[in-house]
Amino acid sequence: MGTFAETPGTTAIGVKPRRAPWLKRIAWRILGAIFVLWAAATFTFFVQELLPGSKATLILNQEHGTQQTYNAAQLKPVEEKYGFDEPVTTQYFEYIKGLAHGDLGDSYQQHKPVLTIIGEQVGPTLVLTVTALILAWVFALTTILLTSRRKKVISTLGSGWEIFSAGLPYYWLGVILLVVFSIELKIFPVQGGTSIEGLVLPALTLAIPLAGFIGQVTRDEFEKVLDQPFVTSARARGMGDFAVRVKHVLRHAVLPAVTLSGWALGALISGAVIVETVFARPGIGQMIVTAASNRDVPLVSGVVMLVAFIYVIANILVDIAYAIIDPRLRA
């Protein structure tokens, strides 16, 4: 197999560019997105429905701080209040109907609309994850450009660092950064909150392992492309090494990692669960854990919908990035 055959997205399209009209492509995209959201909502609803134990019991115990069972008479008012006395199918259709109207329901725990709760919390998490993604790319590309196919020692150091950093656990890395840079050196605040200084360490904690991963994927591709005939011919035309690397090689080599970035954004959100705790940062990470451990069904569903939505958007952005990087895709 040739090098490019392995590069995602270029196999079929490279041979015969698709010429689907813009409108049709957009329509398909939107339909796909709706389908993803519906499937995520349905899946979440039924998984939570299948968990053992009654939701009414859970709500009563949480409110009273107990862990007991209740008799039918005690459960009845709660079941009526939340509609648990309806058949599951009715509850499901009510839920989907609400979603279609943009109503995610009210949290069982906080007694306010899920949309409001998420709206209050999602901002800091998005800032954190997007910053981490950008930092990860900067780190990964810098390492690759400087160390790939250099002297043996340098290349080995570069790829060794990538392997090492990709395996770093968030909690460990976060605590180390916190102890060194906040508690000992006092460069950054311990409780960062949403300030700019407070963003640095949490974003680094998420970015370092991801940079290692992007680096690993890109380095393979980068080294293969360096051997391509067009690279040799560019050099033969007298192009400088750095220019060759940036202009010709990098453009081809980043495609797989661009694909991964769509995934990474979602994965960073689960990393945010840990990072937000360590750095006492607001965001949806903590909210996800609380909602799941309290089995706050509307809130859990809301978060899953949000993450599904972020995946959809991220994948659209990846498509656009592809079209920009690989001109053959600009149909």
Q: Which residues in the 126-165 window bind other proteins by CB under 8 A?
A: none
Question: Cβ distance 187 to 276 under 8 Å?
Answer: no
Report how far residue 303's alpha carbon sits from residue 292's, in angstroms, rounded to the nearest whole number: 10
Do 70 and 23 touch, CB atoms closer than 8 A?
no
What are the phi and psi torsion angles at 254 (to 5°)? -80, -10
Of the candidate residues 191, 197, 233, 320, the single one contacting other proteins (CB under 8 A): 191
| CA 21/CA 14 separation, integer angstroms | 18
Min. distance of Cβ 259 from other proteins in angstroms?
5
Q: Which stretch binds other proteins (CB under 8 A): 74-82, 91-99, 153-161, 243-251?
A: 74-82
* Closer by beta carbon to other proteins, 121 or else 143: 121
* Binding residues among 263-282 for other proteins as defined by CB under 8 A: 263-264, 266-268, 270-271, 273-274, 276-282
Q: Whose Cβ is closer to other proteins: residue 184's or residue 241's?
A: 184
Residues 209-248 that bind other proteins (CB under 8 A): 209-210, 213, 217
Min separation Cβ 236 and other proteins, Å: 32
Mind spelling out the 3-state secondary structure of 172-199? HHHHHHHHHHHHHCCCCCCCCCCCHHHH
Residue 14 in contact with other proteins, rule: CB under 8 A: no
- Range 86-115, binding other proteins (CB under 8 A): 107, 109-112
Integer CA distances (angstroms), 112 to 91, 98, 107, 117, 125, in order: 19, 15, 6, 7, 20
- 304 part of the interface to other proteins, by CB under 8 A: yes
Q: Judged by CB under 8 A, does residue 77 bind other proteins?
A: yes
Q: Which of 4, 70, 84, 92 binds other proteins (CB under 8 A)?
A: 70
**Contact yes or no for 56/45 (Cβ under 8 A):** no
Q: Tell me if 84 contacts other proteins by CB under 8 A.
A: no
Alpha-carbon distance 313 to 316, whole Å? Answer: 5
- Using CB under 8 A as the binding rule, whether residue 262 contacts other proteins is answered as yes
- DSSP-H helix ranges across the chain: 11-15, 22-50, 55-64, 72-82, 88-100, 114-147, 152-166, 170-177, 196-226, 229-236, 241-243, 251-253, 255-278, 284-294, 297-325
Nearer to other proteins, 244 or 303 (CB): 303
Using CB under 8 A as the binding criterion, the count of chain residues that bind other proteins stands at 109
Q: Of 55 and 244, which has the nearer Cβ to other proteins?
A: 55
List binders of other proteins among 307-326 (CB under 8 A).
307-308, 311-312, 315, 318-319
